[in-house]
Structure formats: C-alpha cells, structure tokens
Amino acid sequence: MKPANPSRRAFVLGAAALAVGAGIGAAARPCAASCDALRPPGAADEAEFMARCIRCDRCISVCPTDVLYPLGIEAGVLAVRTPALDFRAGSCTFCDLCRQVCPTEAIGSVDPYAPEKGRIGGAQVLPARCLAFATPGSCGICVDACPYGALSFDDERRPVVDDSKCNGCGECVRICPANVNTSFSGGDERGIRVATGKQMEGVEA
C-alpha cells in the first residue's frame, strides 16, 4: 500500500485538532449565543428558562408555524436543543400550544396586545438593509403585514416601529424581501429584525 503523504497527514491531523478545539471552545461557553436567543412567548427569564427546559422537543414539534427550532452547539453546550425562534422559517401567532405542551412550565402565557407585560422581543428597522431606506417608497410590505399595527411610515415612507405595540411576533421579518435584494452585501439579515432585550440595550451576549 502506498504510504500516506507526510505533509498531507500533518494537514489532516492539524485540521482535526482545530475542529476539536473549536468544539471544546463552544462547549466551554455554557451560555454563549443562547443568552441572546429569542425564546418562545412567555418564557421565563434566560437563567430560569435554561434551568426549567428539559430539552424534550415538545414545543418545537407542536408549533404550527415551524418558527421554533432547537439551538445547536454554537449556542453553548448547555443550550443545545433548547427552543429558539427563527423568523426566516415562520412567525409566532401566539397560539399558546407550546405553553400547553411544556411539561415544566418553562413557557408562559402572553397577551399579544399587551406587550408591556411580556413579549418575545422588539422589532428594529435596519436602515442599511431596508429597501425603503435605499429608495424611499420602494417597499412597505412589513407595514401592511404587521398584525398589531406596530409599524407605520415616516414622512419619507420608511417604516417606523411603535415599541408600545410590538410584541416581537416576527411577521415583519418573515415577510421582508430585503435579504433577497441585498444579499450581495453579505449576511443574512433582512431589513428589520426582532431584537432580544439584551440587543435592545446594546449588550452583547
């Protein structure tokens, strides 16, 4: 049999060591990205949610809009398989099913019309990505789509968020076409996002 090329073998071993190191790095950050994950509506605060959630997957399986997904190792080892929301897949209708199936009361009930009592997050327009900022009047899909009347136009027909009405349902993010049109500039953000409390305070996870 032909012996392995030593330089190739060293390269493969080095790459494997790097991959293991990256995995250990992620595992060593027990609450890395998860601290900034958008949790199901009515979820307890992050520390309590992490303590209560038994990673049973029931909320993810029952969600009719497929907005819930299990976090992976990149969120930190303790957060693996805890549920988070991805508005590229769907939005939250506050149907309450995830709360009903949760065996540990990690998820609570939310009145979507009273966001001051609890919400998923808060919408933020991203001027660098929003089409209406690039060309005023060219888009306003999110304003029409918001089920809670939390979006309106400014004088130049650019979207503005009314924070007192926004519950973080994510419908504006789901429907925003900006990623399709601005993807050449990199990243996968759309023209609007739903920020966690930490992101809104400018705190990095």
Nearer to ligand SF4, 74 or 96 (CB): 96
Nearer to ligand SF4, 32 or 194 (CB): 194
Alpha-carbon dihedral sign for residues 33, 73, 171, 99? negative
Nearer to ligand SF4, 171 or 189 (CB): 171
Q: How far is the CB of 133 from ligand SF4 (least distance, A)?
A: 16
In contact, 42 and 107? CB cutoff 8 Å: yes
Nearer to ligand SF4, 26 or 174 (CB): 174
Q: How far is the CB of 106 from ligand SF4 (least distance, A)?
A: 4
Question: How far apart (Å, rounded) are the C-alpha atoms in residues 115 and 96?
Answer: 15
Nearer to ligand SF4, 124 or 181 (CB): 124
Q: How far is the CB of 178 from ligand SF4 (least distance, A)?
A: 14
Q: How far is the CB of 134 from ligand SF4 (least distance, A)?
A: 20
Q: How far is the CB of 81 from ligand SF4 (least distance, A)?
A: 7
Find tokens 């690039």 and name the residue.
134
Interface positions with ligand SF4 (CB under 6 A): 40-41, 53-59, 62-63, 65, 67-68, 83, 92-98, 101-104, 106-107, 123, 146, 148, 150-151, 161, 166-172, 194
Q: How far is CA 189 from the centre of its chain?
A: 11
Q: How far is the CB of 138 from ligand SF4 (least distance, A)?
A: 19
In contact, 120 and 65? CB cutoff 8 Å: no
Tell me the one-letter amino acid at 173.
Answer: V
Nearer to ligand SF4, 25 or 198 (CB): 198
In contact, 68 and 40? CB cutoff 8 Å: yes
Alpha-carbon dihedral sign for residues 114, 103, 90, 202? positive
For 170, the token pair is 């994510």
57: left (phi over 0), alpha (psi -120 to 50) or beta: left
